[in-house]
Amino acid sequence: MTPAAVPAEVFPALAGTRPTPRGTEALRAAVHARRMLLLKSLLVRSDRQHHLLGPAARRHFEQAWALLVAAERTDPAAVRDVLDYPTTGAWLAVALAAPPGVAFERQSAHLGGVAVAAAVRAGHAVDGTLVVPTGLLVLPGLGVLHCPSGRVRLSSGPGWSRIADDTGHGEVVLARPAVRPGPGASRRAGGGRGWFALRTLPGGTIRLDDLDPYRLPSPDTGRGALRAADRSDAPWGTWARRWRQAFELLTAVDGQRAAETAAVLRAVVPLAAPGAGATPVGATLRAAPGAALIQLPGTARELAESLVHETHHTKLAALDELVPLCRPGGGAVHRVGWRPDPRPASAVLQGAYAHLALTDLWWRVRTGAAAAPAWRRRAGERFEAYRAEVGQALSLLLESDELTTAGREFVQGMERHHAGLGVTAQNVL
């Protein structure tokens, strides 16, 4: 039976990769529930290990926590938006894994920036001082302020909050609400040196996050080969133009999937460009669902495909928090058509799910009239190849004993959708 955590009609729809508003709502709820659990775990660990933290670190943590609680009382939705931002999840994962003592103390100090961002978004007054041990105040979803003094002064007025380095080397005045600025707009009412604001990609609220230090995994996660693009190496004009073109293409061939992508993703993290002749890659971190890590492809259609691919990695990561799909501890590895290296069952499922969504997209491009002939030809070639590879992966999963009961039901739903692709015209309605 479908677990009660997911509405009965939502589970099979998610398995088939087709977008539904209720599916998106359920996945957002899963992300938030997980985020709140991690935040509570941080508080519990801080309480239990208070004797390992210096008095100043304990005091600053308590002040930041109190500000976060007060902001949540002012505007819960605004605070939730900050807590559910992808890099907040990445930070929590790093902080909870940090060794006791100085390392944990340094990571937990980031709560101050999270709390200030939440207060600014909620319109809650911020006053006093805040210690910034790293010299960089990170406001998730908003931007970063360089603070060479290691301390900032906070003050507020009607509709605004001022954050300034203690020695005057950096300053920003943020207006409320700083939630939905126009495309490319900086998230500030007025600023000074040392402030760098995130920019919003055209047509929605997704940030191009080329600033947050938690936007990439640490090297010990196994994804150390990924390298962030510096702001100077991720030109805004190129990103904005290609992003707009990609969404126009996606909307024309599959408006529902375009809307889902815009609703599921919160940030795009530009990766450093691939070497000469290399194929651009993308990634999604389990700790940071909603962020697509992408090397900017050379064409808008390739970017559209990358966005669909990473959106489905986020969807499956969020779903797996609600309903475990694979049994823990499985040591077997399997070969799939789209990777040269053998993969565990969980990775096979992730890849099959993302490629099933792409196969669905390519079928619609291939059979529809909205796409340009070049994309239809490319889609036809890729549809045939990936349909076969996804089918093999689904058979492999169903023959294994590594799926949970819910996981088997989910893969069977994937298989039903896969079997219908390319068979009847109804699949493109």
* Residue environment code for 154-163, b if the CB has 16+ CB neighbours within 10 A, otherwise e: bebeeebbbb
**Residue 362: is its pLDDT beyond 70?**
yes
Q: How many Å is the Cα radius of gyration of the chain?
A: 22
421 CB contacts (<8 Å, ≥6 apart)? Answer: 359, 360, 363, 383, 387, 427
Angle formed by the axes of helices 21-48 and 86-97, nearest 10°: 30
- pLDDT given for residue 175 in this prediction: 87
- Reading the block at residue 82, the tokens are 């900050």
d(CA 372, CA 365): 9
Q: What is the helix (H) or strand (E) element at residue 153, kind and residue range?
A: strand 151-157
Where does 182-295 have alpha helices with state H? 236-253, 255-264
- pLDDT given for residue 331 in this prediction: 79
Which amino acid, residue 187?
R
314-353 pLDDT, tens per residue? 999 999 988 999 998 777 888 998 888 889 999 999 999 9
Handedness of CA 90, 95, 99, 102 (dihedral sign): positive
Mean pLDDT of 70-87: 97
How many CB atoms lie under 10 A from the CB of residue 276? 5
Handedness of CA 368, 243, 350, 84 (dihedral sign): negative
Mean pLDDT of 170-185: 65
**Residue 426: is its pLDDT beyond 50?**
no
- Reading the block at residue 26, the tokens are 């359920």
- pLDDT given for residue 423 in this prediction: 67
35-43's contacts with Cβ under 8 Å and 24+ in sequence apart are 35/83, 35/84, 35/88, 35/89, 35/92, 36/83, 38/89, 38/92, 38/93, 38/96, 39/83, 39/92, 41/92, 41/96, 42/92, 42/95, 42/96, 42/108, 42/111
410-425 pLDDT, tens per residue? 999 999 999 999 865 4
Strand order in the sheet with 160-165: 128-131, 151-157, 160-165, 171-175, 190-191
**Residue 178: is its pLDDT beyond 60?**
no
Of 22-36, 131-145, 277-291, 389-403, least confident by mean pLDDT is 277-291
**Residue 389: is its pLDDT beyond 90?**
yes
Give me the phi and psi of 215, to 5 degrees please. Answer: -75, -15
140-176 pLDDT, tens per residue? 999 999 999 999 999 999 889 999 999 888 899 998 7
317 contacts 284 by C-beta, under 8 angstroms? yes
d(CA 80, CA 179): 12
Strand order in the sheet with 143-146: 136-139, 143-146, 195-197
Confidence band, pLDDT 50/70/90 cuts, at residue 184 = very low
**Residue 183: is its pLDDT beyond 60?**
no
- pLDDT given for residue 6 in this prediction: 79
Q: Return the SS3 of 196.
A: strand
205-261 pLDDT, tens per residue? 999 999 999 999 765 444 457 888 888 888 899 999 999 999 999 999 999 999 999
Residue from 118, 25, 83, 80 nearest 318 by CA: 25
d(CA 229, CA 282): 13
The DSSP 8-state label assigned to residue 194 in this structure reads T
